[in-house]
């Protein structure tokens, strides 16, 4: 994995977003911060700090513009991104303050959306994100309350014939897992696997996450079973980059490091051709986790996980990645 090249690419995207032509300060901040994390993996502390500072200025400029134009829909996400910049720079007071601001913004958005029967899914996601923020700062009771708010909206509207809502059972399971209810999370995903899935990626991701939940519950037999069953029954040449990196994670957990490395490297090669830059970034960073875990380079893995935390805390797969990294690092 060449994180130096990735850093240069993300820095270029940041400059392009911040240009006078675009003035897209939110995306500029995101890409500058992502570039900084790549340079940190490579050990360039000076560039890391310079780009984090630049990202912070872009995000704060975005918030200022949002206030002037009364745009409040995505301020929670930006507050959360800012909080992680402060944490990466060692300012834990500001980290805490901005996480709380993010939590309040997500909660306010959720309450407003919950009033609209046609906005059930966005309301669920906003409560879920608010809960994630409170969980970050150790406020378990408020986090649990908002996970329950998300689940209540789903149970009230998600099953009631509202065809406009397509709520992912994986997100439902994640709410239970993050409320320290792993048995409920496992039950939901086991039930989901009995349904017919048109997407091989959804099918394999559910098996991967289930395997990790079982592993966390010290049920190695069921964990291994699900890692094995995550295999997509197609030729490798026909798999997407996202499918390949999921397969790589499963092979890693089945103690097949050579297979995992081959699949991860192929996922990087394929993803480099996509213009969906956020997806490319996610795939390449997860592939990096596979490659560095397989090589026993734990410190680099921890740096990549720090990068994933601020970008993808809302991602249900994030919990599985945490379990995988803890499990593999403990064996080295």
Across the chain, mean pLDDT equals: 89
In a domain, 298, yes or no: yes
Domain boundary at 49, 71, 93, which?
A: 71
Among residues 144, 134, 22, 151, which one has the least CA distance to residue 76?
134
Q: What is the pLDDT of residues 214-263, one digit of tens each?
A: 999 999 999 999 999 998 877 777 789 999 999 999 999 999 999 999 99
In a domain, 43, yes or no: yes
Cα 264 off chain centre by? 18
Q: What is the pLDDT of residues 119-166, one digit of tens each?
A: 888 899 999 999 999 999 999 999 999 999 999 988 886 554 444 444
In a domain, 180, yes or no: no
Instruction: In the chain, count H helices and then E strands.
Output: 16, 0
Number of structural domains the chain divides into: 2
pLDDT for 332: 65
Whole domain around residue 19: which residue ranges? 1-71
Give the position of tokens 């995207």. 13
pLDDT for 104: 96
Q: What is the pLDDT of residues 17-47, one digit of tens each?
A: 999 777 899 999 999 999 999 999 999 999 9
Residue predicted with more confidence, 84 or 311: 84
Q: Residue 60 burial (CB < 10 Å; 0-12/13-18/19+)?
A: middle
In a domain, 257, yes or no: yes
Q: Do residues 110 and 126 make contact, with C-beta atoms less than 8 angstroms apart?
A: yes
Tokens of 94: 């500001």
In the chain, % of residues over pLDDT 90: 67
Give the position of tokens 């000076």. 46
- Report the distance separating Cα 116 and Cα 120, nearest Å: 7
């Amino acid at each position: 994995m060449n994180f130096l090249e990735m850093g240069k690419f993300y820095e270029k995207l940041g400059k392009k977003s911040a240009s006078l032509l675009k003035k897209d300060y939110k995306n500029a901040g995101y890409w500058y911060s992502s570039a900084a994390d790549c340079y940190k993996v490579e050990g360039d502390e000076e560039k890391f700090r310079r780009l984090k500072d630049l990202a912070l200025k872009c995000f704060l400029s975005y918030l200022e513009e949002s206030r002037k134009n009364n745009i409040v829909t995505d301020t929670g996400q930006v507050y959360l991104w800012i909080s992680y910049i402060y944490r990466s720079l060692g300012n834990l007071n500001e980290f805490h303050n901005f996480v709380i601001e993010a939590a309040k913004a997500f909660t306010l958005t959720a309450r407003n959306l919950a009033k609209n029967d046609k906005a059930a899914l966005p309301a669920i996601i906003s409560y879920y994100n608010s809960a994630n923020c409170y969980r970050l700062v150790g406020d378990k009771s408020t986090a649990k309350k908002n996970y329950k708010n998300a689940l209540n909206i789903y149970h009230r509207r998600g099953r009631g014939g509202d065809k406009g809502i397509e709520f992912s059972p994986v997100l439902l399971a994640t709410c239970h897992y993050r409320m320290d209810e792993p048995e409920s999370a496992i039950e939901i995903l086991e039930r989901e696997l009995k349904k017919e899935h048109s997407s091989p990626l959804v099918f394999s991701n559910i098996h991967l996450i289930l395997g990790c939940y079982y592993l966390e519950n010290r049920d190695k037999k069921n964990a291994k079973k699900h890692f094995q069953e995550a295999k997509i029954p197609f030729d490798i040449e026909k798999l997407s980059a996202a499918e390949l990196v999921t397969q790589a994670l499963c092979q890693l957990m089945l103690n097949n490091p050579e297979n995992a490395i081959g699949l991860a490297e192929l996922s990087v090669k394929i993803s480099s051709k996509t213009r969906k830059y956020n997806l490319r970034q996610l795939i390449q960073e997860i592939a990096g986790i596979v490659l560095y875990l397989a090589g026993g380079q734990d410190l680099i893995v921890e740096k990549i996980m720090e990068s994933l935390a601020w970008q993808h805390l809302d991602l249900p797969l994030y919990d599985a990645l945490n379990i995988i990294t803890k499990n593999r690092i403990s064996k080295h």
